[in-house]
Amino acid sequence: MISQRQTAGLLLVGMAALLIRLAPLARGDLTFQTGWDAVDYIPLARGIQHGCGFARFVNGHCGTADVSRPPGYPFFLALMPGLRSVLVVQAFLGAALCVWLGYFVSVRWGIGPGLMGALLLAIDIPSIVYGGMIMSEALFQFLFTGAILLQLSAIIANDSSTTTNAKAIVAAGLLAAAAMIRPTGLFLPVFTAIPFLWIRRTSWHRALAFGLLAFAIPTAAMLAWTVRNERVAGLSAPSSDSAVTLFYYNAAGVLAYAKHLPFEEASSELAHEIGWQGPPFAVPVNPAHEMILKSFQIFKRYPIATLIVTIRGLILVATVPDRNELNDLIGTNGGGPLGLAPSFDILTRIRRTMKSPTLAILVMLQLMVNLFVWTGVVRGLLHTNWKSKTEAACMLMPLAAALVMLACAASPAAHARFRVPAVPFLAMLAGIGWLGNRSNALILPVSVPRDDALALPTMTS
C-alpha cells in the first residue's frame, strides 16, 4: 500500500488532468468538438434516441440500418443528456485513469514510477485533444487500459481465488465493451485468457475453462454484431470502417510508394477501379468486400513497398506529434495542409507549424516527451528481472498492448490520435524505467504467499 501523502499526490495529478481536460469546454460553441468522426457518431446516437435502431437520424427521418461504425460509442452518446455532458464524462474518465494507473504502479514499483506514469498520461496532448472531442479515444483508452490493469492484478495475485478470477472476468467484459467501440477491437480477445494461463496456483482444466469463458465474452459480442450486419446489409464484418481504412489509406499508401505517385492520386486511382467516386467514408456495403480483396492483392503484388510503408507508419504513429487539431483547439495559425496522410509532405507541415511560435513549442515539447517516454520504456525492459515470470508479465503485457494498438495504425494514415490507446501503457513502462529501483522489483501484496520460485526483492515506497 502507499501512504496518505502519496495518495494525495496522485489525486493532485488527477485533479490537474481533469482541469486540463475540462478546459476545452470553456469555448462558446462545440464546433471544434464535433468535427472528425463526430459527423457519424452524432446522427447514429440521435437515431438510437429516436427509436431508429442503429441508423442515422437526419432531417427528422430515420435512415437505413447502418454498418459503417461499431455500435459502442454511439450507444454511449445516446445515454447522455447532451454533447457537453459527454465531454465532461470523458474528462473524468481521463483523470480517473491517471489516478488508477498511478496507484497501480505505485503499489508495486514505488510512488516515484507511479507519479511519473500518471503525470505522463495527464499531460499527453493527443489524449487531451481527442478526449475533448466527440470521439471514441477517451472511452476506448479507459476500457482497454482498465482491463489490462485488472489482468495484471490477477497475475500478481497468482492464485485461483474468487477475487482473482472475478478480476480477470471483469477485464474480459471491459475488453468486450472496448471491442464494440473501435475496429481495432478485433484483436482484443487475444488478451482475455492470458491471466488464467499465467496463474500457477490452479489446475490446468480450471484455467482452461475460465480462459475459454473470458475469450468467449468479447468474441461473442463481435460475432453477434457481425451476424446483425450480415442480416441487415450483407456485410460479414463488425463494421465497414475497417475496409475503407484498409483500402483508402493502407493500400493507397503502398501503391503511392511503389509507383511514386502522390497519395491523393493513388487513392483516387483505387476508387476509380472499384467504381466509387463518392466520399471515402460514405462507401456502400457491396464495394467494401471488393476493397478488402483488392487491398490484399496490392499488398501481395508489392511486398517490399508494403513492408517499408508499414514500418514507416509504425515509427510515425509512435512518435508523430498532434498538430492540426491542437492548432484548432488553441486557435493558432499553424494548421494544414489538410487531406494528406501525416507521412506525406512533411516539410510543408513544418513550415506551416513554424508560423505559430506557440504551436511550434507545443509540437517540439511533444517530440521531447515522446523521446523521453520511449527511452524510459527501453530502460525498463533492460532492467527487468526476466527470471521472474510475474515481473516479466507485468512488463510484457503493457508492452504488447501498446504495440498491438500502434501496429493497427501503422499505415500512411499514421496520426497522433491513433497513439492514444497505447499512451497509458507506455507511460507506465516509462515511469518504471526511469524511477524504478535497480531491480525494478514488484512490491507484492503482503497477503500473497510467496515461495522461492516467486520470491522477488522488495523495495520501500
Do 136 and 73 meet the contact criterion of CB atoms below 8 Å apart?
yes
HSE-up of residue 279 (Cα within 13 Å, Cβ side): 6
- The structural domain count of the chain equals 1
d(CA 394, CA 192): 15
d(CA 69, CA 237): 11
Residue 119 within any structural domain of the chain: no
Do 92 and 131 meet the contact criterion of CB atoms below 8 Å apart?
no
Residue 126 within any structural domain of the chain: no
pTM over 0.85? The answer is: yes
Q: Residues 6 or more apart from 343 whose CB is under 8 A from it? A: 253, 309, 312, 313, 316, 412, 414
C-alpha cell at 405: 494498438
Residue 219 within any structural domain of the chain: no
Residue 99 within any structural domain of the chain: no
pLDDT score of 237:
85
- Domain containing residue 436: 302-440
Residue 246 within any structural domain of the chain: no
Do 306 and 299 meet the contact criterion of CB atoms below 8 Å apart?
yes
pLDDT score of 342:
54
Residue 447 within any structural domain of the chain: no
Residue 286 within any structural domain of the chain: no
Beta partners for 62? Answer: 57
pLDDT score of 273:
82
pLDDT score of 447:
41
Residue 343 within any structural domain of the chain: yes
pLDDT score of 389:
86
d(CA 230, CA 236): 5
Dihedral sign for Cα 173, 176, 181, 185, please: positive
d(CA 369, CA 392): 25
pLDDT score of 347:
75
Average pLDDT across each block of 10 residues of the chain; the chain has 461 residues. List them in order. Answer: 93 98 86 87 96 95 93 97 96 98 96 97 97 96 98 90 92 97 90 85 80 95 95 88 86 92 85 69 65 92 94 92 89 66 66 87 95 97 90 94 94 87 98 77 49 38 32
Do 404 and 317 meet the contact criterion of CB atoms below 8 Å apart?
no
